Structure 1
Amino acid sequence: MPSYFSKVGGLPPQTQTLSSKAVFTTAYAVIPRTVMSDIVTSVLPHWDRTRAWIISRPLSGFAETFAQYIMEVAPGGGSVKPEPDARAQAAIFVVDGEATITVDGTDRPLRAGSFAYIPAGAAWTFRNDSASAVRFHWVRKKFQMVEGLERPPAIFTHEEDCVLHAMPDTDGKWATTRFIDPADVRYDMHLNIVTFEPGATIPFMETHIMEHGLYVLEGKAVYRLNEDWVEVEAGDYMWLRAFCPQACYAGGPGRFRYLLYKDVNRHPEL
């Protein structure tokens, strides 16, 4: 049964030490789960009974292609005007609770493990009619139009309905759940779940054009970010700039899983 970290909020006690693995560099950032307290939340226009942890945003020397939010919508909350920018597409992944998303007039139920892709310019709303809060990740990216390509359609699915694709020669110990077909060039972003069994590794220093946002959903591991090894666990977030060297060792004792954003399928803008 999939497990997704969702215990954000609260405030550390006055007795807690100030040492932390939080770090912000020009190549990467680590925002540990201890940072996701009540005092760093944002409230957003046209969202009722909602708070957000904005964990990346386009910024000089930081994220360039996307913004990522952890959203918490209380019972009775939601939005009839959630997206302020008609150029923005959305990828949503639910980690706790239930809600309904309505896209172009069609209601879609959401629960933990649900994924939704909403094309730029689509009319959508979000509401929580349940008795408990719903928490989800919301990735926003300006869609890059390509002449001769039709706009990508919406996607609604659940992790349980997706195939786990094993990396070659790993005996299934390193695998990816792909919510968007990587061969479909209509899409210019992906949101995946990467799963490592205990002892699995990324066995080389990946260095590539894709920018990443990584949110740890389950387990712990040591992650290589540029020149540093950082121990991360469920609830921690990592941003990796394009070409930042990266590798991973999942030492166990359980699975290590993270939600992975990357920009794909487009020429670099000159």
Structure 2
Amino acid sequence: MGYLNNNTGYINDLLATRAVIKKNNFAILPPDGLVKNVLPGFENCDLTILSSPQLGASFVDYLVTLHDGGNNRCGFGGEEVETFFYVISGQVCVEADGQRHTLTTGGYIYCPPGTLLFMENANQGEDSQAFLYKRKYQAIAGYQPHLLVNHRDNLEKVHYEGMEDVIVEDLLPKDLGFDMNFHVLTFAPGACHGYIETHVQEHGAYILSGEGVYNLDNNWIPVKKGDYLFMAAYVPQACYATGRGEPLSYIYSKDCNRDIPL
């Protein structure tokens, strides 16, 4: 198995962690302590399973490090399963539905249910890292999602809730065919949410840059680049960006466009 940070043996300190796990409520997973998971179809890749149903999520999030030649040529996803792949660093060739694209840092692909995603590191001998997501698609009559490939550079930067120092980017269309979306939320140092949110949507979030303090179920907890957060339905949530000059920015998923079944 092994640790994601590749540190082995004893540490010169007491055993301690910033991880906080409240199943069916919220979780914070820092990089230290995360382990590598071996999954069928992935070759020369380190994978860490972040959120999962065992934690209380309706989706599965992964952190994928593709080493030199790292790939999945078997295909990821399948019937009734939608997938999303975002390049955190490096360069990855992806293929889906006969279309082949090279994604650089900030590039992403969404695959609708039934469309397999193939990937291969294209970073000329260097590692690439990506955020990977899968979820069972909730179909409704008359609507369906479609394959989408894009890059953050092409997205509109919108002032979140009218606040000039907070920017939100919508990665997927606001279309009823999609039962979820991905966003990137960026806070300048000192910026924050306008209020502590409480809502039915759940989130899985990966911090791309910066530092901050996050309120999760009225616990203010320091977070920083490389941390992963899970937020279950209705958990109170908000953050302040801190740090020195670097914005707090994170990518996160959100279920949407569907009524609640009884």
**1:163-242 maps to which residues of 2 (within 5 A)?**
163-170=156-163, 172-181=164-173, 183-242=174-233
State how far apart, in whole Å, the 2-side matches of 1:54 and 1:232 are: 19
CA distance in structure 2 between the partners assigned to 1:10 and 1:212 by the alignment: 28
Q: Percent identity?
A: 27
Q: 1:142 to 1:28 in 2, by over 3 A?
A: same
Structure 2 residue corresponding to 1:52, chosen from 47, 56, 80:
47
- Matched residues, number: 255
The 8 Å contact of residues 213 and 220 in structure 2, kept in 1 or not, is answered as: yes
C-alpha spacing 1:55/1:123, structure 2 compared with 1 (3 Å): closer
Alignment-mate amino acid for residue 246 of structure 1 = Q
For the 8 Å contact 1:71–1:135, the answer to whether it is kept is yes
- Residue 238 of structure 2 corresponds to which residue in structure 1? 247
Match of 2:148 among 155, 158, 163: 155
* Distance of 2:41 and 2:32 partners within structure 1: 28
Post-superposition offset of 1:19: 2.4
| TM-score, normalised via structure 1 length | 0.90
CA distance in structure 1 between the partners assigned to 2:94 and 2:249 by the alignment: 26
C-alpha change, 1:219 and 1:132, in structure 2 (3 Å) is: same
Inter-partner Cα distance in structure 1 for 2:13 and 2:89: 27
Query: Which AA in structure 2 matches 1:210?
Result: Q
In the other structure, the counterpart of 1:68 is: 61
Task: Say whether the 8 Å CA contact 2:89–2:128 is kept in structure 1.
Answer: yes
Task: Determine the structure 1 residue equivalent to 2:252.
Answer: 260
**Equivalence for 1:143:** 137
SS in 1 for 2:32: helix
The answer to whether the Cα contact below 8 Å between 2:95 and 2:117 also exists between their aligned partners in 1 is yes
Distance 2:162 2:11 in 1: 49
Cα 1:247–1:124 change in 2 (3 A) is closer
Deviation of 1:84 (Å): 5.3
Q: Which residue of 2 aligns with 1:5?
A: none
Secondary structure of the residue aligned to 2:79 is coil
Distance in 2 between residues matched to 1:109 and 1:53, nearest whole Å = 23
Question: Deviation of residue 203 (structure 1)?
Answer: 2.7
* 1:49-93 alpha-carbon deviations (Å, 9 max, x no partner): 11201111112xx33321000011122221122325422111111
1:69-88 aligned within 5 A: 69-83=62-76, 85-88=78-81
Whole-Å Cα distance in 1 between the matches of residues 132 and 149 of structure 2?
14
TM-score norm. by structure 2 comes to 0.92
Report the aligned-residue RMSD. Answer: 1.5
Aligned residue identity for 2:203:
H
Q: Within 2, Cα distance between the matches of 1:205 and 1:234?
A: 22
Per-residue CA shift, 1:209-242, capped at 9, x if unaligned? 1001111110000100002100000011111110
Q: Following superposition, which runs of at least 4 residues in structure 1 exceed 6 angstroms of deviation?
A: none
Matches within 5 A, 1:109-120: 109-120=102-113
